[in-house]
Amino acid sequence: MSNNGKRVAWVTGGGSGIGEAGAEALAADGWTVVVSGRRKDALDGVVARIAKSGGKAEAIALDVSNKAGVNKAAEQILAVHGRIDLLVNSAGINVPKRSWADMELEGWDKLVEINLNGVLYCMRAVLPAMRAQKDGSIINVASWAGRHVSKMPGPAYTTTKHAVLALTHSFNMDECVNGLRACCLSPGEVATPILKLRPVVPSEQEQARMLQPEDLGRTIAFVASMPPRVCMNEILISPTWNRGFVQTPANRD
């Protein structure tokens, strides 16, 4: 890439889980990483760990459902670094009340605002700079639930993640002519803090068999390392011990 080889990555949801692991893996590969998220203390911890390992990172407190805040964050990154080469949309949530029997419209709206609208806001915010560079990559973290419908994640989460998959493919259809590319990364169960919001929290033994955040961090760094001529359109990744296949009692709740 131009600009003396400097590569700048913006990672949303970078304070924990997949976003944190992605930021750490990218920094280890030499990227300058900007992590954003709602909890500044968590972001500062990630930045400190990256710096301790010799990487370059900084933090911006941000709620991706705030369109003005997203635009301001992108402007701030561009003002400091002059470019954005990679966007990793990793911010996402679910809610405990997630079945048709107990779902609440407030929960539905919250998931749509963060899991879908937030992804779109960030993509649009980086688009002018990437078009001007005629180079740029986006990784949208969706879910196994974005490809396979099942009961456990609930209708709101499943719907938003399916939408992210469609959004990613539609981006590639329009923006490939501008040298831009997007990957929809759809992991199965990952042992991250979001599991605590499940109606039935998986046991430590079950979580040990799941994908780990560092597995997704390595995947994000791999996609980011591809040359501009390569578009990794979609990656579907799951634990070998896939509870959707094995049908344990907990994943039927």
What confidence tens digit (pLDDT) does each residue in 83-136 have? Answer: 999 999 999 999 999 999 999 999 999 999 999 999 999 999 999 999 999 999
Decide if pLDDT at 227 tops 70.
yes
In this predicted structure, which of 158-162, 184-188, 194-198 has the lowest mean pLDDT? 194-198
SS3 237: strand
In this predicted structure, which of 27-36, 71-80, 201-210, 219-228 has the lowest mean pLDDT? 201-210
Predicted confidence band of residue 244 (pLDDT cuts 50, 70, 90) = confident
116 part of a folded domain: yes
Mean pLDDT (the chain) is 94
29 part of a folded domain: yes
List the catalytic residues. Answer: 157
Decide if pLDDT at 250 tops 90.
no
- Give yes or no for a contact between 185 and 141, defined as CB atoms under 8 angstroms apart: yes
Q: Is the pTM higher than 0.85?
A: yes
CATH number at residue 232: 3.40.50.720
- Amino acid in the structure at residue 75: E
What confidence score (pLDDT) does residue 1 get? Answer: 39
Predicted confidence band of residue 17 (pLDDT cuts 50, 70, 90) = very high
Neighbours of 226 (CB within 10 A): 13
Decide if pLDDT at 251 tops 70.
no
- Domain of residue 193: give its range: 8-252
Q: Where are the alpha helices (H) located in 59-154, listed in sequence order?
A: 67-81, 105-111, 118-133
What confidence score (pLDDT) does residue 197 get? Answer: 78
3 part of a folded domain: no
What confidence score (pLDDT) does residue 253 get? Answer: 45
231 part of a folded domain: yes
What confidence tens digit (pLDDT) does each residue in 138-178 have? Answer: 999 999 999 999 898 999 999 999 999 999 999 999 999 99
2 part of a folded domain: no
Predicted confidence band of residue 249 (pLDDT cuts 50, 70, 90) = low
Domain tally, the chain? 1
What confidence score (pLDDT) does residue 2 get? Answer: 45
227 part of a folded domain: yes
